[in-house]
Amino acid sequence: MKDFKDKVAVITGAASGIGRGIVNRAVREGMKVVLADIEAEALAQTENELKSLGATVLSVLTDVSKAEDVENLAQKTIDTFGEVHLLCNNAGTAPIGISWECSLSDWKWIMDVNLWGVIYGVRTFIPIMLKQDVECHIVNTASLSGLMANEIGQGMYIVTKYGVVGLTEAIAKEFSLLKSKIKMHALCPGMVKTRIMDCERNRPEEFCNDITVPIDHPELEQIWDAMRGLGAEGEVPDRVGDMVFEAIKQDVFYILTDTRLAYRRMIQTRNEEIMEAFKQNKQIHKSLE
């Protein structure tokens, strides 16, 4: 897709962070934008700011962890604009904790938002896009953590982002076989200046029954403090939004906001370890013959 003017975009997590960055670029491209977010005040403020600039926007209070909310988002989009051409499943959360120490509420919350939110998005919007029979794009926000498991204390987050990458890859192959006009993209950001480390502000009451009480891990505090600092020094959301649109124009599947050599080496090391495992397991098979 090269021309976005008057096309319709639906963006979750639209009132802050990466979502807002994508929204800002969509508005500059002349798109009609549906803003979805769980934060009512931030959502209303975003809508007002954009309307004051002359943008055509619709805000829909949405909890992506609920299938009915995502279905309502789709219905309001169609009722208002009649079609949808770009879906960005972007809303996310990132509670920190050692994997086995995290409560079931922690696990359920992050799985429901980060993974099920994307599942609800594609299941709800893809049938609509298929009926339109025009070029459409879906951008699923994963993470570099969906390509390599290197962050200590983010096991839950990594599980969800690996899932998003795998789901996006699988759907892309299905679309290719079916010769669909819908294109998939996996957005895998590195550190970005967002409030995701302050995600507890959006934790629904239903996931507050057994919140993990932080367990003292002095040996990890320095690592977690560094992670928080990296977020403050990360890429600005507007530039991420620009990268997303340029990737759509060039039909790039993996959208990487940080291409530093260190990250490339981490991903390469993981792939090399998997290939080495083939050799090792070949020996195991041989020994069992």
Per the CB < 8 A criterion, the answer to whether 196 and 219 are in contact is no
More confident residue, 192 or 256: 256
Q: Map out the domains of the chain as residue ranges.
A: 8-258, 261-289
Strand order in the sheet with 57-61: 57-61, 32-37, 8-12, 86-89, 136-141, 182-188, 254-256
Mean pLDDT, to the nearest integer, of 244-267? 94
Catalytic residue, chosen from 120, 157, 162, 263, is 157
What integer pLDDT is reported at residue 33 of this predicted model?
A: 98
The predicted-structure confidence for 102-154, as pLDDT tens digits, reads as follows 889 899 999 999 999 999 999 999 999 999 999 999 999 999 999 999 878 88
Closest CA to 95 of 46, 34, 157: 157
Mean pLDDT, to the nearest integer, of 232-245? 90
Judge: domain 8-258, CATH 3.30.1360.70.
Answer: no
- Dihedral sign, CA of 127, 128, 129, 133? positive
Mean pLDDT, to the nearest integer, of 205-214? 64
**pLDDT reading at 27 higher than 70:** yes
Q: What is the pTM of this model?
A: 0.91
**pLDDT reading at 202 higher than 70:** no
Question: Is-catalytic flag, 157?
Answer: yes
